[in-house]
Amino acid sequence: MSSFNLSAIIDQFSSCHILCIGDVMLDQFVYGKVSRISPEAPVPVIRERTEKMTLGGAGNVVANLRSLSCRTSFLGAVGQDENAQKVRDYLNGLGLENVYLQNIADYITTIKTRYVAGGHHLLRVDREMPLQIADEELSEMLEQVENLVQKVDLVLLSDYGKGLFDERFTPAVVKLCRQYGKPVIVDPKRFDYTIYRGVTLVKPNLKEFSGAVGRTFDAKSPDFAAELSAAGRALCGKYEVENLLVTLSEHGMIYIPSASGKNHRWIPTEARDVYDVVGAGDTTLATLGAAMATGADFDKCMRIANAAAGVVVSKFGTACVTCRELKEKLSLRKEAGVVTLEEAVEIAESLKAQGKLVGFTNGCFDILHPGHIQSFARARALCDTLFVGLNSDESIRRLKGPTRPINNQADRATMVTALASVDYVIVFDEDSPLPLLEKLRPDVIAKEGYAMDNWRSGRFVESYGGQAVILPRVEGCSTTGIIEKLGK
């Protein structure tokens, strides 16, 4: 599964069945216009124009799962009031596999009302009360949890701190998930993770994580990632949590895999325009769960979830992300230019799945000259997309001596990617491109100046059925010759 590209993972969402358990509520948005200040008090007067109501809290997680085409079941608790029926109607309208809502006596179904004018939130009014579940009601809910857990691939716990996830209910749910071998992900609100003990992953935001470990972190500090990772591993060890994913708002997210012993992974945000962060955590949770349910490796899951958050914060109000939006967002990450080897592999796999030919050439390309330009053009004519392996500065110094390169790798990469015949550049540190080729596995490799007996890269590509093409050399063109002329 780890070799699949991101688009292929998204295509598998529809085959996954996910159970979401959580604090469900209603999100109400009152949109209007402010044109004056009240004469009664120094507050804006909003003239109401439209009103919108949607599922909020765990309900938004469920809405996102369905928007991503996942088979979805839900379990939660509501009151015995008019809003409880609205929640039920909204959930039924999503086409869920199973819906179980425990009606709690003397409980008010939570509704959050936001007043918005000119794209800005002016006020939020919460109508809620603490949830207290009687022993009989708890027993009924846990019986339903056990029935549902057996049918699904993964379980999401969306804890909004309303009282559902208490010291009785949560450990019992986690125990059932472990009993039936189902991964369980928690989006926490509380700082004490005792009730989450034994879960697969906890996904706090930075504020929640800081509260849990009892200290603050500066994302601009050069030691930020290392400090956060150390604190995260300690937290995981204390509560027997297998993994942590800390979302960092405009700074992206950082993954701390305590169970595997691997290093932390920090990726930047995908958001370009941020209009509204309401519900972004729900979207991240839903997309992460969907990706993990496919069996994909976590690096890919994290990148998909990060992209989903980048999509949803560009929308107003409680919103969902679709598979199409997610694919478009991920395809725009690297339209062209310098890519990492991991990104190159994903792009190449996607191209091959579309029946496209992937081509490759490599070199130092220290001082671009007509020979390089013609080689790139000829290589590009052999394929649909051309990847160029570019020797790093350090590898060039090892190959050609301390006076080279003339142009550093950033400048060389800029010049090469500016050429119409080049699609992607991968900078590599090894003396040979073979380690890169072993992962990229292009359909065609093309390069001038080699006989096949001396061309290990060409022979490797041929070994798995690819094509190796020796390009004709353009006489009188070389970087060394240009340097010698300059020295005269």
Catalytic residues: 282
Contact indicator for 9, 294 with CB cutoff of 8 Å: yes
Q: Which two tokens stand for residue 138?
A: 């708890």
DSSP 443-460: SEEEEES--GGG-HHHHH
Query: How many residues are present in the chain?
Result: 488
Q: How far is it, in rounded angstroms, from Cα 479 to Cα 406?
A: 9
Q: Which residues pair with 77 in a beta bridge?
A: 102
How many Cα atoms sit within 13 Å of 121 on the Cβ side? 15
The residue written with tokens 């899951």 in the block is 301
Q: What is the CA angle 9-10-16, rounded to 5?
A: 85
The residue written with tokens 């179980």 in the block is 100
Q: Which two tokens stand for residue 70?
A: 């996942």
**117 CB contacts (<8 Å, ≥6 apart)?**
31, 32, 33, 34, 44, 46
Q: Kindly list the strands in the beta sheet with 71-78, ordered across the sheet, starting from the edge strand earlier in the chain.
A: 98-103, 71-78, 17-22, 154-158, 184-187, 201-202, 243-247, 253-256, 265-267
